[in-house]
Homo-oligomer: A and B are copies of this chain.
Amino acid sequence: MNAAADQSAMTMLIRKLESIAALSDKERRAIQSLPGRIQNLGAQQDIVRDGDQPKHCCVILDGWACRYKLLSQGRRQILSFHISGDIPDLPSLHVPTMDHSIATLTKAVVALIPHESLRELTARHPGIAAAFWRDTLVDAGIFRAWLISLGQRSAFEHVAHLFCELYLKLQAVGLAGDHRCPLPITQADIADALGLTPVHVNRVLQEMRGRTLITLRGRMLVIQAWDELLRLSEFDPTYLQLERRAAG
């Protein structure tokens, strides 16, 4: 966190909510004055666990996190990726028991906000309540999009679709542009999200490079052929409900 961010840790949350709904000045101020315990976390650390009944929600201020579920024999399904501004455990406000875990994928900074404060905030500001509501509906839309990918798309199309989605989500909160975005996760993480093996994800990435669709080095993804990637994966950005900008 730098000095500007310290002024309000909630800046990223506001930016995220404004990417899917309009906020008034009053609402922005109310969010900025939310109490939040800042926490620095390492990579691969659980934030909330399957079966927990959390009493606070976590806003991601920096770094990447994911929802995931463990099955027998160490199988892991990643259910969603989360970036700055996201509140992955927002549903815990209304559904007490977690049916999955949430963990960091990279080093991360999060703010823990008591459920109580959030309930007060939403009771006082119906506009914010609506924005939260809308956020979880967008989340559900992303789950549906992943269902479609898992059920109908080839591994190649699936990876392409994921890259389009991640780029647009990052762009919406100002963390990407010019068809480049950070991608600080491993091929094994991607594999667990797409229901593939790391080996096969690697082969798909090789093919994408070979076809000059992307560059992926260090932790930076460059989409060299955006339109082509959209076309190949039949990407339709409607489900992200990003009102302010068209895809691309």
Contact A137 B94 (CB under 8 A): yes
Contact A79 B238 (CB under 8 A): no
Contact A140 B234 (CB under 8 A): no
Question: What does DSSP make chain A's interface, helix, strand, loop or mixed?
Answer: helix
Using A71-B152, A95-B138, A152-B71 as known contacts, say yes or no to A143 and B147 having CB atoms under 8 A apart: yes
Contact B148 A147 (CB under 8 A): no
Q: Is A179 at the interface (CB under 8 A from chain B)?
A: no
Chain B neighbourhood of A151, CB < 8 A = 77, 150, 192-195
**Interface readout for A162-199 with B: 1 if CB under 8 Å, 0 if not?**
00000000000000000000000000000011110000
Q: How many copies make up the complex?
A: 2
Chain B nearest CB from A24 CB (Å) reads 18
Contact B234 A144 (CB under 8 A): no
Chain B neighbourhood of A212, CB < 8 A = none
A193→B141 CA distance, assembly (Å): 16
Chain B neighbourhood of A241, CB < 8 A = 95, 97
Chain B neighbourhood of A100, CB < 8 A = 144
Chain B neighbourhood of A27, CB < 8 A = none
Contact B99 A152 (CB under 8 A): no
Chain B neighbourhood of A139, CB < 8 A = 140
Q: Would you list which residues of chain A between 53 and 111 have a CB under 8 Å from chain B?
A: 67, 69, 71-72, 75, 77, 79, 91, 94-95, 97, 99-100
Number of interface residues of A (CB under 8 A): 41
A241→B134 CA distance, assembly (Å): 21
Using A71-B234, A136-B137, A137-B94 as known contacts, say yes or no to A144 and B99 having CB atoms under 8 A apart: yes
Chain B nearest CB from A146 CB (Å) reads 6
Contact B94 A134 (CB under 8 A): yes
Q: Would you list which residues of chain A between 145 and 162 have a CB under 8 Å from chain B?
A: 145-148, 150-152
Chain B neighbourhood of A77, CB < 8 A = 147-148, 151-152
Most B CB contacts (10 A, CB to CB) among A72, A97, A133, A148 go to: A148
Chain B neighbourhood of A30, CB < 8 A = none
Least CB separation from A195: chain B residue: B151
**Which A-B residue pairs are the 5 nearest by beta carbons?**
A151-B195, A143-B143, A150-B150, A99-B239, A140-B140
